[in-house]
Amino acid sequence: MRPAYEIPHFSTISTAPRDADVELLAVPWFEGMVALPTELDAVAGADLRSAIDRGEFAGRSCDLYATRITAPGWKASRAVVVGGGRRDEMRVETTRRMAAAVGLMARQQRLPRVAWVADADDPQLVQSVAEGFALANFDNGHYKSRDDAPFFLSHVLIAGGDADAIERGRIVGESMNAARLLINEPGNRLTPRELAERGAAIAAVPGVDAEILDEAQLAELQMGLLLGVARGSAEPPRLLALRYEPSDAPPGPMLGLVGKGITFDTGGISIKPSDGMERMKDDMAGGAAVIAALRAIALQKLPVRVIAVVPTTENMPGGKAVKPGDVLHGASGLTVEVNNTDAEGRLVLGDGLWYAQRLGATHLVDVATLTGACVVALGRVTTGLFGAPNGWVDALRSAAERAGERVWPLPLFDEYRESLKSEIADMVNSPGRPAGAITAAMFLKEFVGDLPWAHLDIAGTAWAEEAKAWTPKGATGVMVATLVELARSAGSPWPTR
């Protein structure tokens, strides 16, 4: 099996563009700009200006215009100008996408060494450039046997960049690639046991301890929601718990990350239509995100205590599967009438949120490909954000902004709780179509008590439906960067109830 990704060697350069020992020079270009770097203007300016005049290149986001460098004394043989749109609208996401677009082009043209030539005075933007190049060095075809082995970038030089910011970007990009590889894996390869083992291996970095609970231990803990979903599968469930507690972390807050780990979702007895069901291998994207985020947090040695919990199982329609109308008993003591077995993610997260609190979490975030309703509401551009209190939701929203990932808050008004009522149990798991993303979040809220909690519904953003200039089709690794930024903000007081 061929490799899915490699991480290029990153370094800073302070030399002039002509002296950069690379095959490709990458220069950002924004709408309305008129001047290339002085030296580069001498060898490529006329060609670029001609392209602009005839409308071939306008500087729109991730537009690329490549030209050869034939002047003597230049080590690079080619230059590419990458569009960033309007400069006053530039965000972290913009530069990450620009760098990724250049990286993918360099790989297609088999140019192993790239230099990014730009002003680099903002560490956050420098970090995003490194993330973009790391993400570009990812290949979805690692099960292909007939194609040539993928070509990867070997070196990325960032002009004038802060070395610490570059290293942070390398770690986050590599961790996102690890998550993408897990999410892309087919269900016959990534069973619950395999997800737990591989998740522990991904997070096996200094300072992280891992524990895997098997079905007997889950039964001892009375995790009836997770075990109930698992009943229809021949594959036994697992729960992965990761713990990072550095000695320099303050003793108070502990961030608890809980990720949905459904390695394949048929819908159970409430079976899904066959069209598109193959995509349901990505129903563990939330679990992959929290594993990768904890890895990046530990590698960056952030002074905050963090635990990650991933309850993992398949949702299958076997002879012992949960039936609509069954009642399950969670480890928290809450009982649930299952009226839709395809609303299984919130069930396993209920037991996962309880276990995170048992391990000492004081602030909770869960990440899940939870509802199609969130895709209807926000499309495939934005992650749904729910939670309480408002200060905790604001902290997560700010972290997403710094990370260059898009989230949008949706309400959790008390009236939505009414739809969860059951005649025979504490609540039903699926009140129906109206406000489906909100009522799913309201269900999860029942398991968190008074702790600060946020829920990220990544059903629309975990998977790229089509290839773009900056990403191939497939898993995106969304929310890894946001969770790392949230952990970095632990130095600022986090809200409490």
> Annotated active-site positions, please?
272, 346
CA distances from 359 to 101, 297, 353, 494 (A): 42, 18, 10, 19
Question: Token pair of 469, please?
Answer: 């200039």
Q: Are strands 407-409 and 78-83 parallel, antiparallel or unpaired?
A: unpaired
DSSP state of 151: P
Nearest to 455 by CA among 289, 254, 230, 251: 289
Q: Cis peptide leading into 389, omega within 30 of 0?
A: yes
CA 341 to each of CA 60, 228, 283, 421, 428: distance values in angstroms, whole numbers, following the listed order: 45, 10, 15, 17, 11
Structure tokens at 73: 């004394």
Answer for the pair 45, 36: CB distance below 8 angstroms, yes or no.
yes
Q: Which 3 state secondary structure label does DSSP give 383?
A: strand
Contact criterion met (CB below 8 Å) for 315 and 267: yes
Nearest in space to 123 (alpha carbons), one of 493, 485, 494? 485
**Alpha carbon distances (Å) from 397 to 91, 165, 240, 326, 456:** 15, 21, 27, 37, 10
Under DSSP, the state recorded for 448 is: S
